[in-house]
Amino acid sequence: MALSEIELINNFKNGDEPAFNELVLKYDKSVLSLALKYVQNRDDAKDIYQEVFLRVYRGLKNFQFKSEFSTWLYRITVNVCLTFLRSGKKKSMLSLDDEENSEPLHNITSGSDNPDDDFLRNEFKDNLNDALEKLSPKQKMIFILKHYEGYKIREISQMLNSSEGTIKKYLFEANHKLRGYLNELYV
């Protein structure tokens, strides 16, 4: 029988190192996926992933259950992504639609047998990628958390330690800017 998060955290606090490994296994894919969507480069996403779990390892002994573990973990992930982008450590941008990558950044629709549809879909994905890069780091992160990861405003506000009103403002601005960028291309 699998242990609950609370039991795993408490076991780790009492010196059980494998308990930490179980927590990592539970969340590793979602942390890597979020980082990958944000930085759009596998190597950068792996660097962020390692930094996130290093910070979690160091901070878990002080975790006081004032929030859900997942909220705390995603707050760390978001902060590491934002810091990483500001630091200028970004490697050259690679498309996440390369065949070697298993998780495309924008899963808009499934592929079709029509080459024209595929071309238009890929062109739109590229244009959306370009438009996302024009957003501020916080706007981009909030947009990704809301529209790609499916988090609610309340959850995002907890992750970013901001008010719901602030999150709504950033999301509104991101949507407005993206609409403007894309309207220039498609209207």
Closest CA to 106 of 117, 115, 98, 97: 97
Helices (H), 60-103: 69-87
How is the chain split into domains, by residue range?
Answer: 1-94, 104-187
Residue in the block written with tokens 């024009």: 134
Written out in words, the top-level CATH class of the domain with range 104-187 is: mainly alpha
pLDDT on residue 37: 86
% of the chain with per-residue pLDDT over 70: 80
pLDDT single digits (tens) 111-152:
555 666 667 667 777 777 788 888 898 899 899 888 888 889
Q: What is the pTM of this model?
A: 0.66
**Total residues belonging to the chain:** 187
pLDDT on residue 124: 74
SS3 98: coil
CATH fold group of domain 1-94: Rna Polymerase Sigma Factor; Chain: A (1.10.1740)
Residues 6+ apart with CB under 8 A from 108: 121, 124, 125
Mean pLDDT for the chain overall:
81
